[in-house]
Amino acid sequence: MSFQLPRNIPNFSDGIRKVENITWQGFKGGSDLPLYKDKPWASPLRRPRFYRRKRSYLILLLLTSIVLFFRPWVTIASRARRLQPPQKVVYGDSWEDRREQIRQSFVSSWDAYSRDAWGMDEYHPLTSSGRNMVQDGMGWIIVDALDTLMIMNLTTQLEAAREWVDTKLSYDKDHNVNVFETTIRMLGGLLSAHYLSKDDLYLEKATDLGNRLVGAYDSASGIPYASVNLQTGQGEPSHVDGGASSTSEATTVQLEMKYLSKLTGEAIYWKKAEKVIQVVEGNKAEAGLLPIFVHPTTGAFRGSEIRLGSRGDSYYEYLLKQYLQTNKKEIVYKDMYAEAMLGVRKHLLKYSNPNKLAFIAELPQGIGGPLSPKMDHLVCFMGGNLALGATEGKTAVQAKSRGWTGQMEMDLLLGGQITESCFQMYNTTATGLAPEIVYFNMEQDDATEDMSINERDAHNLQRPETIESLFVMWRITGDPKYREWGWQIFQAFEKWTKLESGAYASVSDVTRIPPPPRNNMESFWLAETLKYLYLLFSPIDLLPLTDVVFNTEAHPLPRFDMEPLFQTGWARKTDDVKSTT
Ligand code: DMJ
């Protein structure tokens, strides 16, 4: 079968030639970022290479002798190693070769899934089996991967996937599903597939699903319940957390619902989604930083815990992206985003010791309470998000030519710093894979490690956030170090998460060699991690950041004009906006 490429998807081979001819004036070597971190051996404080090598041999000899002598008593004191320079780059693989290797990893993952668990919602690669979340499945893996199949031009695989969607996929299930996950993965996946292919099948399925999801918003406040029954449309409060919904879940459905309105001309999805932001904004959270639970009945926050990791993260992503989605007309979201980023700087941004890595900490008891130096890998989307907020999708060179402010410069710089810290979450472990959570060292002590890992947090689910930031930073700055870092991470995935069967699996401990595999492959491995890796090595005019917004599951959706169908249906009461300064 064939599908039509949208106008921004160029002929691949042409595109590759184009990107390799581009000269990134003003960004050679990332001159905006600290040199010693980019190129550890280029610092003027370092001694010449020959001396370093000799000294290294001596140190190695000494350490080997000590270890051999004391071996029975040696224990591993820390689970994260010292900061390392990025691994030596092996030249010879062109960007195009690397992109093809990433495509082959996708094919291998997809073939294994197709062989072992075709059509099932979960894939268990160790037992070569799968499981459905609802009877006969809801397309969890297939629908989430449709647009990656298109972007990678995998037409045979896409044909089978489309056939499954056409003949097997039904959302008419008497079953409760998570509203957020179903929206970002299924609705987002179908809408993106429609955007890229213009195939009406995907829009029909998306509209059917959207109609089943809207019932979730019929709460007293308009905040969606955590779950909804797909057959009855009845919302269901969370069974834990006092029935409260996650803040990030309630506020990360807007891009999908609004685009569905745009495509169908039906305002209902738009209004339901928009109302959620109006309600949370009405709580006037200090410094624009929202507690991580919100009650669907009252619309009030539950508790005071603040973080940009789980349950908080994508609220901040969708503020910015809602502003971008409707061609920068909805200033209300830009204002809220700017306020929140000031709040992040004032209350959450810290630098570790000894290497001053930037990280975004947590406030378990809210503003004014003690700070926790914990950072989820989930927070790593913030590197790219800050850069995207600074240039609004343009390259930094383009953005700096007009209306560039000090704040934008600072946000771009911070985006680079957070991305680097996230890269170090990979670069400092034995496997080169990041754990789920790290704790940064804020003490002024003699510690040699900037971060440590608790045993319970040492797993890796093949999450995308760091790769996502590397992709956005590369697109915006043109600094090739982001591609090199992405390549290093990809090689660690190849080395430690690929099974003999060709499948890829999560691992349970990134500090162990070899890391024990887990019997799971998340759908976002195909939908996000491999897609962002592929785009990192693709031409920059493939899905330009000036034309699309990626939803939080990496499904590209177009930017569009609201008029004449829709308008922002609410306004902030500016008098009430709390200052963060
Ligand atoms: C994905 O479902 C989305 O990226 C979401 O925003 C966060 N969690 C996973 C990936 O880690």
Per-residue pLDDT 10s for the chain (581 aa) are 333 333 343 332 322 222 222 222 222 222 222 222 222 222 222 333 433 455 656 666 666 555 444 443 322 234 455 676 666 555 558 999 999 999 999 999 999 999 999 999 999 999 999 999 999 999 999 999 999 999 999 999 999 999 999 999 999 999 999 999 999 999 999 999 999 999 999 999 999 999 999 999 999 999 999 999 999 999 999 999 999 999 999 999 999 999 999 999 999 999 999 999 999 999 999 999 999 999 999 999 999 999 999 999 999 999 999 999 999 999 999 999 999 999 999 999 999 999 999 999 999 999 999 999 999 999 999 999 999 999 999 999 999 999 999 999 999 999 999 999 999 999 999 999 999 999 999 998 888 999 999 999 999 999 999 999 999 999 999 999 999 999 999 999 999 999 999 999 999 999 999 999 999 999 999 999 999 999 999 999 999 999 999 999 999 999 999 988 899 999 998 655 554 43
- Give the pair of three-digit tokens for residue 494: 């190849």
pLDDT confidence of residue 573: 82
Q: How far apart are CA 273 and CA 259, in angstroms?
A: 11
Give the catalytic positions in this structure.
Answer: 436
- Give the pair of three-digit tokens for residue 263: 């495509």
- Angle 481-497/95-117 helices, nearest 10 degrees? 30
pLDDT confidence of residue 78: 40
pLDDT confidence of residue 135: 96
- Angle 313-325/254-264 helices, nearest 10 degrees? 30
Q: Is residue 245 within 8 Å of residue 224, measured between CB atoms?
A: yes
**Cα four-point dihedral sign 537, 543, 549, 550:** negative
Q: Among candidates 529, 535, 554, 255, which has minimal Cα distance to 377?
A: 529
Q: How far apart are CA 107 and CA 88, in angstroms?
A: 27
Residue with tokens 């030249």: 91
Residue with tokens 């920068």: 328
pLDDT confidence of residue 83: 73
Tally Cβ neighbours within 10 Å of residue 58.
Answer: 10
Strand boundaries in 308-377, DSSP class E: 349-351, 358-360, 374-376
Q: Among candidates 462, 456, 458, which has minimal Cα distance to 498?
A: 462
State the Rg of the chain over Cα: 24
Atom 3 in ligand 1: residue holding the nearest Cα: 553
Ramachandran angles phi, psi of 375, nearest 5°: -135, 120
Question: Ligand 1 pocket, 144 CB below 6 A?
Answer: no
Q: How far apart are CA 111 and CA 106, in angstroms?
A: 8
Ligand 1 pocket test, pick from 246, 317, 525, 553 with the greatest ligand atom count within 8 Å of Cβ, gives: 553
Ligand 1 pocket test, pick from 182, 183, 184 with the greatest ligand atom count within 8 Å of Cβ, gives: 184
Tally Cβ neighbours within 10 Å of residue 502.
Answer: 17
Q: Is residue 196 within 8 Å of residue 556, measured between CB atoms?
A: yes
Q: Is residue 27 within 8 Å of residue 558, measured between CB atoms?
A: no
pLDDT confidence of residue 447: 87
Atom 6 in ligand 1: residue holding the nearest Cα: 552
Q: How far apart are CA 112 and CA 106, in angstroms?
A: 10
pLDDT confidence of residue 65: 59
Q: How far apart are CA 545 and CA 132, in angstroms?
A: 35
Q: pTM (2 decimals)?
A: 0.86
Q: How far apart are CA 314 and CA 554, in angstroms?
A: 12
What distance in angstroms lies between residue 322's CA and the mean position of ligand 1's atoms? 18
Ligand 1 pocket test, pick from 186, 316, 422, 552 with the greatest ligand atom count within 8 Å of Cβ, gives: 552
Contact partners, residue 306, CB within 8 Å, separation at least 6:
289, 290, 291, 292, 312, 347, 348, 362, 363, 366, 367
Q: How far apart are CA 302 and CA 88, in angstroms?
A: 48
E strand or H helix at 246, and its extent? strand 245-246
Question: Side chain identity at 4, as an amino acid letter?
Answer: Q
Q: How far apart are CA 487 and CA 38, in angstroms?
A: 15
Question: Ligand 1 pocket, 525 CB below 6 A?
Answer: no
What distance in angstroms lies between residue 314's CA and the mean position of ligand 1's atoms? 9
pLDDT confidence of residue 255: 98
